[in-house]
Amino acid sequence: MSIFDKDIESNSPPYLDRGADDYVLIVDDDPMNIRVLGNTLKEEFQVRFAKSGIEALEMIRLSVPPELILLDIMMPEMDGYNVCEALKKDVRTKHIPVIFVTARDKPEDQYRGFLLGAVDYVTKPFNQEIVAARVRAHVALKRYRDQLENHISSINMKLLDRQRELDQQRDETHMMENLLTHAQKMSALGAMVSEISHEIKNLVNYVMLSANSLEGMWEKVIPLIEQRVDDDEADLYFNQPVERFKRKFAKSFDAINEGVHRIKTIVEELKEYYRKQGEIQTHEYIDVNKVIESALTFLAPAIRESTGNFQVVYEETPYVKCAYQELEQVIVNLVQNACHALEGPQQSIQVRTVRQKNDDTVGILIKDEGVGIPDENMSKIFDPYFTTKTDTGGTGIGIMLSNRLVKKNKGKLSFSSEEGKGTIATISLPAFINKGSG
Ligand SMILES: Nc1ncnc2c1ncn2[C@@H]1O[C@H](COP(=O)(O)OP(=O)(O)OP(=O)(O)O)[C@@H](O)[C@H]1O
Ligand SMILES: [Mg+2]
């Protein structure tokens, strides 16, 4: 065993494992040189050889690249400098260490070799053990560098994964903040609505009382008018016969009463809506038709504004177990989207309920004849902040929020749409108990 053999054993760290395909390539046009170098290295390395620069390049490109190349300079057709240059230009081969082994021993030759990217330069005639030691050192360095690169790239991958996780967390936090702001706005709005509705109710009561007393007084005045005013005078004072004037007056009282009652109901419902928004939602057995009805109370003005063709079709459906207010909010979001999608009042919106016996669910379908959703947007509409309504203040959280609420109530929200024809949004909820049996 030579001193170098001993060095290999003691100096080979376990992490510098050699792969089964690793080899050292000798490139020389003189078979004698190949033999001598091969014998020098064959105990420690797998050795292959090429007899010209062109053969060497072909071999390297077509199979596994070598761990190191021992390269002669003076060869016919393509000299060693050109081979080295070609290797260093190619990203796939530029990392392979090259040692020139040559009879050209002038400093400028050596300098040129190093300039071209060689890691070492051995002049002939050479000492075999020293060449073996140099090859060993450079191969070890290369293996070490390869492992370092692998390690760094695995660290980079981990960093990238972590970065992705952080981005996701940041998006989630951002979304939660927005939802919180939304909830806070709703609660502030609720308090304001509650105050305003109190004021309005006071005023409404005042109007109602005044209208009632006016009506009472009017009833007392009628006989006097009838006694004292004949038809000619009536034409003069009221522009019409007394009878018609009396009817009109009575109708006006009815209209005042009805209007005032409507104001009262709307204010009550508004107050109730915001009160429920702030409540903790409990799951109860509910009739989806009722939820639709109450959602439509709020939506009535928006619907009136966007279509002259609105229809609700209720089917007798089983109860579902669901948070009333959450379902109401989902219906409001989806009907609002349908209203926004219409291009003119002749386009229709239909809301209908169906009992889907095949999978025992209750379906709420909101169908519009609006612009439709282009295929490329279909997968995005569930994403937070995806909106095509930036110019009209869309926030792009309506569907995302609705989807969450429907899922929370064990249901499913789906869309089918055709661009230019319209959209059907379907909420499916598990049917719970038949009405009348529960
Ligand atoms: N019925 C529909 N017809 C056509 N496009 C629709 C319909 N419903 C939803 N979209 C598309 O999906 C997008 C996302 O809807 P989403 O309700 O989440 O947000 P938005 O309506 O834009 O804003 P907001 O948060 O105020 O509801 C809309 O901007 C629109 O492009
Ligand atoms: Mg919306």
d(CA 128, CA 36): 8
| 400 CA closest ligand 1 atom index | 18
Task: Please choose, from the candidates 322, 340, 353, the residue with its C-alpha nearest in 3D space to the C-alpha of residue 399.
Answer: 340
Q: Is the CB of 369 under 6 A from ligand 1?
A: no
Q: For ligand 1, say whether the CB of 384 is within 6 Å of any of its atoms.
A: no
Is the domain spanning 3-126 CATH 1.10.3720.10? The answer is no
Q: How far is the CA of 425 from the centre of ligand 2 (A)?
A: 12
Taking the C-alpha atoms of residue 313 and residue 325, their distance in angstroms, rounded to an integer, is 21
Q: Which element (helix H / strand E) includes 404? A: helix 398-408
Output the six-digit token pair for 344: 């003119």
Cis peptide before 125 (omega within 30 of 0): yes
Are 309 and 346 in contact, with CB atoms under 8 Å apart? yes
Strand partners, 70: 26, 99
Tokens of 308: 């002259």
Q: Is the CB of 306 under 6 A from ligand 1?
A: no
Which residue's CA is the closest to the ligand 1 atom numbered 8?
337
Centre of ligand 2 to C-alpha 368, Å, is: 14
Enumerate the domain spans of the chain: 3-126, 174-277, 283-430
Is this structure's pTM higher than 0.75?
A: no
Encoding tokens for residue 437? 């049996």
Binding site membership of 341 for ligand 1 (Cβ less than 6 Å): yes
Q: What distance in angstroms lies between residue 270's CA and the mean position of ligand 2's atoms?
A: 20
70 and 118 Cβ atoms separated by less than 8 Å: no
Alpha helices, H only, 126-241: 128-228, 231-238
For the structural domain made of 283-430, what CATH number should be given? 3.30.565.10
3-class SS of residue 122 = strand
Q: Count of alpha carbons within 13 Å of 341, Cβ hemisphere only?
A: 28
**Nearest Cα to Cα of residue 52 among 98, 14, 83, 21:** 83
Which two three-digit tokens encode residue 384? 């937070």
Query: What tokens does 327 get?
Result: 């379902």
Q: What is the pLDDT of residue 7?
A: 35
pLDDT at 14: 34
338 lines ligand 1 (CB under 6 A): yes
* Predicted local distance difference test score (pLDDT) of residue 73: 96
Identify any residues that bridge with 50 across adjacent strands, giving them in sequence order. 27
Residue 118 DSSP one-character state: -
Nearest residue CA, atom 12 of ligand 1?
381
Asked whether the beta carbons of 79 and 103 are under 8 A apart, the reply is: no
Which tens digits make up the pLDDT trace of 86-122?
999 999 999 999 999 999 999 999 999 999 999 999 9
Ligand with minimal distance to 399 CA: 1
Q: Which ligand gives the minimal distance to the CA of 366? A: 1
Low-confidence ranges of the chain (pLDDT < 70): 1-20, 275-282, 433-438
415 lines ligand 1 (CB under 6 A): no
Residue 1 pLDDT: 33
Give the distance, in angstroms, between the CA of residue 296 and the centroid of all CA atoms in the same chain. Answer: 31
User: For residue 283, what pLDDT is reported?
Assistant: 72
Atom of ligand 1 nearest to the CA of 422: 3
Distance between Cα 334 and ligand 2 center (Å) = 7
99 lines ligand 1 (CB under 6 A): no
